[in-house]
Structure 1
Amino acid sequence: MDTRLHTKVTPDWHRWIGEALAAGHPPAELLATMTENRFDERAARDAIADAMFGSTAPVAPAPVAAAAAFSSRLAEGHTLHAGGRDIRILVRVSRPIIAVLDGVLDTDECFMLRELARTRLARSQVVNPGTGIGVVQDIRTSEGANFGRGETELIARIDARTAAIMGMDEEHGEGLQAMRYGVGAEYVPHFDYFPPGDPGSEPHLRHGGQRVSTLIMYLDDVEAGGETIFPRIDFTYVPRRGQGLYFEYTAPDGSLDSLSLHGGAPVLAGEKWILTKWMRECAFAG
């Protein structure tokens, strides 16, 4: 018996994915069906994400001019000086622009942020592409807590630090968002930017413009699973308490980087806690 997994998704399966999503079947159900049919899990996830969020990954390198448009806002060198802290840059990726940062938060801050978030957790939402309104969907199965900019001394300190790291004024930042993922919880691959063609993006783009960068801060180690994945470049980050994962997706000329497709793999054991900061191209009033 042939036990090999299918790593290529055929046109018939792509068509089935589109029809199943249009009929209202949740992505988790599609993934289960495809793995039962011996598809490699990553190939299945990529195909489902492509159907939900855009076209397939480019098969050839981007033109030089387009690639050059994406130049990082992150400072050069091996160490960032932000809010009185020295933050080490452990890894840099040039396209999409990604950096792994060490020492973004200390142990006490991670604990206090988890406890602060725990008092206001609610099921996380995603932006409905048709209306722009936040809705609960199975593509994101975490619980979240939102904080207003500067609402406590701790939050104000993190707001200032993240702005310094990301090379933008605090006024461009959205409020911090904490998320908890329990066993089995995940976030299927998605884009952080607002797709210009979606009607639901318009109200978000009116207030602060497009998102340009993200900083995910990890509030605890994860016992198993919960990696942050960039499937179009086959890059995986394993959560470590106090570290940050920074990435960009909007160039100064407005170009959007589809290689920034990313997601959160299912948590297999323990919990995953993260704190996220998004930056906009213009001042954001909330």
Structure 2
Amino acid sequence: MFHRSAGTRMPVVDAAWHEWLRTNAARGCTIDSMIEAMTQAGFAADVAGEAVRAAFGPSTASETSAPTAAASAAGGTEAALPQKTPHTYRYDDAPVAHGNTIHAHDRDVQVLARCERPQVIVFANVLSAQECSEMIERSRHRLKRSTTVNPATGQEDVIRNRTSEGIWYQRGEDPLIERLEQRIASLMNWPVENGEGLQVLHYGPTGEYRPHYDYFPPDQPGSAVHTARGGQRVATLVIYLNDVPEGGETIFPEAGLSVAANRGGAVYFRYMNGQRQLDPLTLHGGAPVLAGEKWIMTKWVRERAYV
């Protein structure tokens, strides 16, 4: 399940990418991690290398890396969090149960892989094929262009880095949603009331979400609008509602990992520990869809009850 994503689509280093490069260079991302993120997004290695080194300036021409810190943010926010280097984050025990099979409320879920740094777990059989199809069909005609959080104001903005459409469901709004939320809460071992509503997202051909964070950067004014309701985000579960023939992986460029999109499977990642530290290794993105389409369902969970 873990592999490096690859593709043939050759994007252009446009204004949005130049802004991404300037921002992440200023925030101390490594050259290697930025090149990796761009190659995961479909750039040729030489094009990515030239663009990244140009963003760092002439002094980096012979260097291969720079001091590591946090990069661009989103998943709810598009602002970045200046952070300590990854090794300062203390990895404590994740709340997810041990074992190769986890009984999650009404369903046995298989564990396919675990990664310790960052804390990533890959699951199979989280949803049945019928449940996946039902979530797609009930969402298809209610989609709206996805947004991210403006770091200064906390408002929702449409940006070029996130090319998806989505719909939010109210927590417990009908029996199916309620059952899935109970299952997910059991699997993540986190209270139902601490979860945001389920979000279903659709990515068409070439659709992607460039590398970002899911937590809200504490140093950005706009984050306060969101952390006022339930506190900081703690972990994410991304459930794949269909098989993607090519591309569409969930990528973790700082960790060199990617997870293929297989129907009914899911990837869990945790980015806040018991000391309220935030893990910069959870930088992640949705690689471009190179064939077919991609449907996912996301659950974000908070420190406290989300009201």
- Normalising by structure 1, report the TM-score: 0.82
Q: In 2, distance between residues paired with 1:202 and 1:236?
A: 31
2:22 is aligned with what amino acid? G
1:187 counterpart (204, 209, 221): 209
Q: Is the 8 A contact 1:125 1:137 kept in 2?
A: yes
Question: Relative to 1, partners in 2 of residues 1:215 and 1:233: Cα closer, same or farther, differing over 3 Å?
Answer: same
Are 1:100 and 2:100 an aligned pair? no
SS in 2 for 1:163: helix
Deviation (angstroms), 1:67: 2.8
Structure 2: tracts of 5 or more residues without a match: 1-16, 27-37, 57-69, 73-78
Q: Are residue 127 (structure 1) and residue 149 (structure 2) matched?
A: yes
How far off is 1:252 after superposition? 1.3
Structure 1 gap segments, 5+ residues each: 1-12, 23-30
Q: Specify whether residues 56 and 17 from structure 1 end up closer, same or farther in structure 2 by C-alpha distance, changes over 3 A only.
A: farther
In the alignment, structure 1 residue 115 sits paired with structure 2 residue 169 = no
The 2-side partners of 1:16 and 1:84 are apart by: 43
- What is aligned with 1:53? 80
Larger RCO: 1 or 2 (CA < 8 Å, sep 6+): 2
SS in 1 for 2:299: strand
Counterpart pick for 1:18 among 12, 15, 22: 22
Selected match of 1:159 from 181, 191, 208 = 181
1:253 to 237, 258, 275: 275
**Residues 21, 97 of structure 1: CA spacing in aligned structure 2 closer, same or farther, 3 A cutoff?**
closer
Runs of 4+ residues deviating >6 angstroms:
13-16, 19-22
The RMSD of aligned alpha carbons is 3.1
**Structure 2 match to 1:221:** 243
Secondary structure of 1:151's counterpart equals coil
101 and 129 in structure 1: CA distance in 2 versus 1, 3 angstrom threshold: same
* TM-fit CA distance, 1:14: 8.6
Provide the identity percentage. 46
Per-residue deviation, residues 170-225 of structure 1 (Å, max 9, x unmatched): 00000000000001110000000000001010011111000001000000000111
- The residue type equivalent to 1:50 in the other structure is A
Partner of 2:46, secondary structure, is coil
Query: 2: CA distance between counterparts of 1:219 and 1:232?
Result: 26
8 Å Cα contact 2:164/2:208 also seen in 1: yes
Distance 1:115 1:167, change over 3 A: same
CA distance in 2, matches of 1:78, 1:20: 38
CA distance, structure 2, for counterparts of residue 154 and residue 223 of structure 1: 28
The alpha carbon displacement at 1:19 in A equals 7.7
Structure 1 CA distance, aligned partners of 2:179 and 2:23? 47
**Would you say the 8 A contact 2:24–2:71 is kept in 1?**
no
> Normalising to structure 2: TM-score of the pair?
0.76
Q: 1:170 to 1:35 in 2, by over 3 A?
A: closer
Equivalent of residue 230 in structure 1, options 238, 245, 252: 252
Q: Deviations over 1:199-257 (max 9, x none)?
A: 01001111100000100000000011111100001001110000010010001111000
| 1:38 aligned residue | 46
Task: Answer whether contact 1:57 1:232 (CA < 8 A) is retained.
Answer: no
Q: Once the two structures are superposed, what CA deviation does each residue of 1:113-132 show, in whole Å capped at 9, x if it has no partner?
A: 00111121000001111111
Partner residue of 1:62? Answer: 87
